Amino acid sequence: MTQASLESWIRLSAVPRLGGQKLSKLLSHASPEQLLSMHPQQLRALGLSEAQVASFRQPESVAWEKCRRWLDNPGHHILPLTDPRYPYLLRQISSPPPVLFIRGNPDVLSLPQIAMVGSRNASHEGLTLARQFGADFAKNNLVVTSGLALGIDGRAHRGALDADGITIAVLGSGLIISIPNTIYHWQGRLRSVVRWFQSSGHGHRPKPPFSRNVTV
């Protein structure tokens, strides 16, 4: 994928209040790169507001500059919907994230996975079982996918790591994230960390847990 094409995907992802249905409508007419070359009147005819058109076509894209700098780091990848490494099942939901930011190995996203999500304030028994289940799933060659949160999510990741398995963290917080101190010291062992942003101020505003869990 060319830099121009990737930039157009980032610009489209950063358009404010661009929901899944409107995004799907746009992409059914043209690629992001083609949309970027359209006249503002054509974009408005496709359903974009004045503010959305202005955001998409601004000469200096703040979102793209931040993403470009992030992408320069080793092990960082950006996967738009059209990338063959974009998870097939995720692409089938009604509003898939248009762009995924991967820190780690993007190839593990295509491996057989099981999702584990739960309460941040789980009981002691719940935490113990989550870690045990995570380990058992990993021993049976399943990638454990969760949200890198305190509670059940964190214990699921730890269980998979206990068994030397593969675990993926899905974060709805874009490029900048604050990781809880109790998780920070081992999160570097994760095989892949998936982040995304869409209509969220260049990826800094966390997505609600439900939206993150849909992606998990």
Terminal C-alpha separation, the chain: 26
Whole-number pLDDT of residue 155: 93
Phi-psi region of 148 (alpha: psi -120 to 50; beta: other; left: phi over 0): left
Whole-number pLDDT of residue 201: 41
Note whether 121 and 115 are within 8 A (CB).
Answer: no
Whole-number pLDDT of residue 205: 46
Which two tokens mark 38? 């359209």
CA Rg value for the chain: 18
Note whether 152 and 119 are within 8 A (CB).
Answer: yes
Which two tokens mark 100? 């995924």
Whole-number pLDDT of residue 68: 87
d(Cα 169, Cα 66) in Å, to the nearest integer? 22
192-195 β-sheet, strand order = 76-80, 99-104, 192-195, 167-171, 143-146, 113-115
Please give the C-alpha separations between residue 167 and each of 125, 132, 146, 216, in angstroms, as whole numbers.
22, 14, 8, 12
Token pair 């955001």: residue? 55
> Where does 30-98 have alpha helices with state H?
32-36, 40-45, 50-57, 62-71, 88-91
pTM beyond 0.75, yes or no = yes
Whole-number pLDDT of residue 66: 84
The DSSP call for residue 195 is E
Whole-number pLDDT of residue 190: 60
Please give the C-alpha separations between residue 114 and each of 90, 93, 169, in angstroms, as whole numbers.
13, 17, 12
Domains of the chain, with CATH numbers? 3-72 (no CATH), 106-215 (3.40.50.450)
Backbone angles phi, psi at 47, to 5 degrees: 110, 0
Tell me which residues of the chain have a pLDDT lower than 70: 59-60, 173-216
To the nearest 10 degrees (0 to 180), the angle between helices 152-162 and 124-139 is 40
- HSE, CB side, 13 Å, CA atoms: give it for residue 170: 26
pLDDT digits (tens, 9 = 90+) for 1-58: 888 899 899 888 888 888 777 888 888 899 999 998 999 999 999 999 999 999 888 8
